[in-house]
Structure 1
Amino acid sequence: MGKSGPDPAPDDGSYVWTDKNTGVTVTVPNGIDPGWAYNVGEETDWTPDLSKYPSGLAEHLSNELEKYA
């Protein structure tokens, strides 16, 4: 189609955003929410509360989770 690569992203400017909890200030492109700065699934170390499950199921789930640790 005559293109050698993707179109460049438009430069719509940016704004400074300060996290109220940490005080960290970052520059964010206009139109982008600061919450989209990272992949939550990669950043979390979440583990389910297996005490809520029957013992056999909890043991099985624990064994399965160890495979991905």
Structure 2
Amino acid sequence: MSSPSPADEPLICSAKECRAAAVWALRWNNPRLHDADRRKTWLACDTHRGSLGDFLDARGFLREVARLSGSPTLEA
């Protein structure tokens, strides 16, 4: 029996100790470390979207917040 590939794993919120399904992508970069067009991504559930976004925004890192495509909470 083969093990599941990482693509088959559910996307999980990036908040510490949260195991909820991620429905948001918070795209950010640190302008002192990254090129202007580079984006890193944190994933967030509905509960942690605000706190993770506030953390990034307070540092001037947050560039975009978008719903994840294929999220289990999105309607078809």
TM more than 0.5: no
> TM-score, normalized by length of structure 2?
0.27
Of Structure 1 and Structure 2, the greater helix share is in 1
Structure with the higher strand share, 1 or 2: 2
Normalised TM-score (structure 1): 0.29
Larger Rg: 1
**Relative contact order, higher structure (CA 8 A, sep 6+):** 2
